[in-house]
């Protein structure tokens, strides 16, 4: 299947879009006030200039309210603080964003699926949900937290953050384009997912502390299960609660792919046929429709 062409760059009349290479030099001052120079000795300016001319999108390292607050008739419920503007910090922050997120996507994905703007911020407060966040998505941009606390994460924490960012971004893309996974990915119809015998696996005699083997979840073809309880008659019954809808099943599968060590995924799909079938269908659909491989999108910890 051909990749869906779904993002129309905003303000296209103001953009000068061209493929960048060593012989194609640009130095401009665009109307909204940001200078671009692909030959700059400043590595940050050079990179965001190349990004602008190559993809027709912008990468913002000094956000103000005009960049993120308003979205046509809507007002985004978010407040950001720009990163420190000294070159050393911006280089480190940009490298961090590239390693954990940007480098996981090929040029075609960046051109066709990325939002109009990627924003780097020192703090992001989602006042709609009344909390600080490390990533914020809006219709025309995605913002990433790149402050000192983030940059000082250890290698294991960077892997976890990369998984989180990519999982969130992929779901953001799905929502924007209305993408649907092939029918054969699913175990049941939506109605069948909602039946208790399909979303509940009881564990006879178990208690809150007696978590059952996760293999019983994988054997049914589900990627994840929540250790929980339900009433069986008048008695509490402990077991695994599973996705009860097609939407929930897909969300849990993405969560499984982006939060589970690859060796665990490999073993699970090797041992459980239903899980392997769903995994392989989703894996192939992501490659064909988006040109991405979930295995290579994630940051690789340095030894």
User: What angle do the packed helices 246-259 and 155-177 form, to 10 degrees?
Assistant: 150
Query: 223 and 105 in one domain?
Result: no
Assess whether pLDDT exceeds 90 at residue 233: no
Dihedral, CA of residue 9, residue 13, residue 19 and residue 21, to nearest 10: -120
User: What's the mean pLDDT when you consider all of the chain?
Assistant: 86
Instruction: Decide if 8 is inside a domain.
Output: no
| Residue 247, in any domain of the structure | yes
Looking at the domain assignment, is residue 95 inside a domain?
yes
Q: Which pLDDT belongs to residue 30?
A: 46
In a domain, 262, yes or no: yes
Same domain, 18 and 117: yes
Burial readout 198-223 (b: 16 or more C-beta within 10 A, e: otherwise): bbbbbbeebeeeeebebeebbbbbbb
Same domain, 98 and 229: no
* Full residue range of the structural domain in which residue 73 is found: 13-152
Residue 223 in this model has a pLDDT that exceeds 80: yes
Count of domains in the chain?
Answer: 2
171 domain residue, yes or no:
no
Q: Which residue has the higher pLDDT, 21 or 43?
A: 43
Task: Identify whether residues 145 and 29 lie together within a single domain.
Answer: yes
- Looking at residue 113, what is its pLDDT? 86
Q: How many CB atoms lie within 10 A of CB 178?
A: 8
* Residues 69-93, mean pLDDT to the nearest whole number: 83
User: 134 and 213: one domain?
Assistant: no
Reduced to 3 states (helix: H, G, I; strand: E, B; else coil), residue 238 is strand
C-alpha distances in angstroms, 284 versus 83, 212, 277? 38, 31, 11
Q: What's the predicted TM-score (pTM) here?
A: 0.75
Coil/strand/helix, residue 57: coil
Which string of DSSP letters, residue by residue, matches 146-191?
A: -SHHHHT--HHHHHHHHHHHHHHHHHHHHHHHT----GGG-SS-HH
92 and 212 share one domain: no
Does residue 280 lie within any of the structural domains?
yes
Using DSSP, state whether 177 is helix, strand or coil.
helix
What is the tens place of the pLDDT at every residue in 61-80?
999 887 777 554 457 788 99
Q: Are residues 90 and 35 in the same domain?
A: yes
Residues 206 and 279 in one domain: yes
Beta bridge partners of 174: none
Q: Is residue 4 part of a domain?
A: no
- Residue 120 included in any domain: yes
Q: What is the rounded distance in angstroms from the CA atom of residue 192 to the CA atom of residue 115?
A: 36
Least confident range of 70-79, 129-138, 280-289:
70-79
At residue 183, the pLDDT reads 95
Give the pLDDT mean for 270-282. Answer: 98
Mean pLDDT across the stretch 95-122?
93
């Amino acid at each position: 299947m051909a990749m869906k062409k779904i993002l129309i760059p905003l303000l296209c009349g103001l953009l000068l879009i061209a493929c960048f290479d060593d012989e194609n030099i640009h130095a401009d001052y665009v109307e909204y006030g940001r200078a671009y120079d692909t030959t700059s000795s400043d590595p940050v300016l050079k990179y965001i200039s190349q990004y602008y001319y190559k993809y027709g999108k912008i990468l913002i390292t000094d956000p103000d309210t005009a960049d993120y607050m308003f979205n046509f008739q809507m007002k985004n419920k978010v407040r950001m603080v720009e990163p420190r503007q000294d070159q050393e910090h911006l280089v480190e922050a940009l490298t961090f964003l590239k390693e954990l997120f940007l480098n996981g996507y090929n040029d075609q994905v960046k051109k066709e699926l990325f939002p109009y703007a990627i924003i780097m911020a020192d703090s992001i407060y989602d006042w709609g949900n009344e909390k600080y966040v490390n990533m914020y998505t809006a219709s025309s941009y995605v913002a990433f937290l790149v402050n000192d606390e983030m940059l000082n994460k250890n290698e294991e924490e960077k892997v976890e953050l990369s998984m989180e960012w990519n999982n969130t971004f992929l779901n953001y893309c799905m929502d924007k384009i209305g993408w649907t996974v092939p029918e054969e990915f699913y175990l049941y119809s939506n109605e069948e997912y909602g039946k208790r015998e399909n979303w509940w696996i009881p564990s006879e005699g178990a208690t809150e502390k007696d978590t059952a083997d996760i293999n019983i979840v994988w054997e049914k073809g589900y990627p994840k299960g929540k250790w929980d309880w339900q009433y069986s008659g008048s008695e509490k019954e402990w077991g695994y609660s599973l996705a009860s809808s097609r939407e929930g099943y897909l969300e849990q599968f993405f969560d499984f792919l982006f939060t589970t060590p690859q060796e665990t995924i490999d073993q699970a799909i090797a041992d459980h046929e239903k899980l392997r079938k769903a995994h392989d269908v989703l894996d192939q659909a992501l490659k064909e429709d988006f040109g991405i491989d979930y295995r290579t999108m994630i940051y690789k910890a340095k030894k």
